[in-house]
Structure 1
Amino acid sequence: MRFKAKLSLATLAILTAAPMTTYASSVHTKWEQFKAGRAFHHLSEDGQHALVDIIQARKALAAGNTEAAIPFLYDAQKRLVAASKAATKFDAAENQLQPAPQRPVSPSHTPLTGTTTWVPVGGEFIATETFSPEKKAAVATANGQLNAGQPDKAAQTLQLVGADADFIIALAPLAQTQGAVNRATVFTEGKQTAEAIAALDQIPDSLVFVSENFAESALPQSGKTPTKSSH
């Protein structure tokens, strides 16, 4: 499958296919039945909520409704603070990450230097080139079902076709994301819509996508720290 390297906030909406509180228990039960379960369990709930808020704020700004954007930005700020205090994060230099080849970074991505705190804010299933068109369609359907908050249906879809799809995770640099949201908030409060949108548009450019296995090795629950790839 081919993927666009440039990531928009519309793409981020797809990546927020994550367990919100209302159906987290159902997800926990079903997810263990297939490969994405382990990675899915490590996603940051507050990070995911913050991303949804960011997307909604940008939509409001693009529509010229600055007043509607402000509550979303305030909530995103709170969510990111909560994410900074939760266990679902880890510290690493960017050159220690092992980016997933299926989702290269944005052409506008600027690599970070020094140790950075990363928060897993979303994920998606990836079909391989060897999948039949029917299985690729099933993976797309499963992603759509995740987006709609239907994890049980997504699990059933993949089980029925026997598709062993990879699951990749979007990592957001915490401090940089917080900075972008804070700038957008100041601009929005000052009715500087174009500047606020530009600040939010920096967020998808900062994401790095990693494999399920790397996320498991990096997150503190595993008791391990990320190391450079030998490849």
Structure 2
Amino acid sequence: MRFIPLMAIAASLAVTPVASHATSLHTHWEQYKAGRAFRHLSNDGQKAFGDILKARDLLAAGNTDAAIPALYDANKRLTAAGKASTKFKAAEASLQPAPQHAPASGHVPATTPTDWIPVGGEFIASETLAPEKKAAVATANKQLQAGDTQQAAQSMQVVGEDVDFIVALAPLAQTQGALNRATVFTEGRQPKEALDALDQTLNNLVFVSQDFVETAIPATQGGKAASAPKAQK
């Protein structure tokens, strides 16, 4: 599964003591970036997609009845995410998808401006990283998938080199529509159709750079949502 849900953490992280001042500064910068990477993510949006993935696993295992509460939770959390400031309205053509993560083969682009919710992300290791550092990035991504951002941030501290962080954006209306269909199918004991609808929520995701999200949702006073970014020429 390419999508990795995250739990938001504070941008300020403790600095691990190191031998040299230069290394200490670099380590501090890496820790700062690890926290900064999560700053604009939607807490409710992340939890909603965690519920979606849980429901999908239950349906795939044949536990149709057990998937219903997770779908209800996902619906409630998506509604809450739609009311929070961690969203922006934009046409999909202006999103500038991250080259490291192409849209899913079943992706259907949104044709009109819609509200986008930052619901997760992934660290991308460069090819030049040493094998043990690539392993640390892989470990951090697994920890993010489990919702353990504190451990993920600690794992990233040992990398000591630049990595990219890409953010998963979910189109709110399309995601809610697919989730509603999945709920109806699950309640009607039609697990295959429910799974197809949940897969659509994942196919709808668009991955963009962390910098793009920070432009779309800059830190604001009073928690007000920012206006959508203009497409770059």
Same topology, TM > 0.5: yes
Q: How does 1:116-135 map to 2 (within 5 A)?
A: 116-135=114-133
| Aligned 8 A contact 2:12 2:32 in 1 | no
Q: How does 1:1-231 map to 2 (within 5 A)?
A: 10-12=1-3, 15-19=4-8, 24=9, 27-30=10-13, 33-219=31-217, 221=219, 223=226, 225-230=228-233
Which AA in structure 2 matches 1:225?
Answer: A
| Aligned 8 A contact 1:34 1:155 in 2 | no
Identity across matched positions, percent? 60
CA separation in 2, counterparts of 1:82 and 1:179?
15
- Residues 198-219 of structure 1: CA distance to partner in whole angstroms, max 9, x if unpaired? 1111111111000010000011
How far apart are 1:82 and its partner, in Å? 0.3
Which AA in structure 1 matches 2:213?
Answer: A
CA separation in 1, counterparts of 2:211 and 2:177?
29
| Aligned 8 A contact 1:177 1:203 in 2 | yes
Which AA in structure 2 matches 1:56?
Answer: K
Task: Identify which range, 105-114 or 79-88, moves more after superposition.
Answer: 105-114
Cα 1:220/1:114, change in 2 over 3 Å: farther
How far apart are 1:107 and its partner, in Å? 1.6
How far apart are 1:220 and its partner, in Å? 5.4
CA separation in 1, counterparts of 2:88 and 2:203?
20
| Aligned 8 A contact 2:11 2:36 in 1 | no
CA separation in 2, counterparts of 1:54 and 1:123?
16
CA separation in 2, counterparts of 1:199 and 1:43?
24
Aligned-residue CA RMSD (Å): 1.9
Matched residue SS, 2:174: helix
Which AA in structure 1 matches 2:56?
Answer: R
The structure 1 segments of at least 4 consecutive aligned residues displaced by more than 4 Å after TM superposition are: none
CA separation in 2, counterparts of 1:43 and 1:131?
27
Matched residue SS, 1:179: helix
CA separation in 2, counterparts of 1:36 and 1:93?
28
| Aligned 8 A contact 1:94 1:112 in 2 | yes
How far apart are 1:81 and its partner, in Å? 0.5
CA separation in 1, counterparts of 2:158 and 2:64?
45
Q: How many residues align?
A: 213
TM-score, L = length of structure 2: 0.84
- Residues 95-127 of structure 1: CA distance to partner in whole angstroms, max 9, x if unpaired? 010111111111211111110110000011111
How far apart are 1:60 and its partner, in Å? 1.4
| Aligned 8 A contact 1:169 1:215 in 2 | yes
Q: Which runs of 5+ in 2 are unaligned?
A: 15-28, 221-225
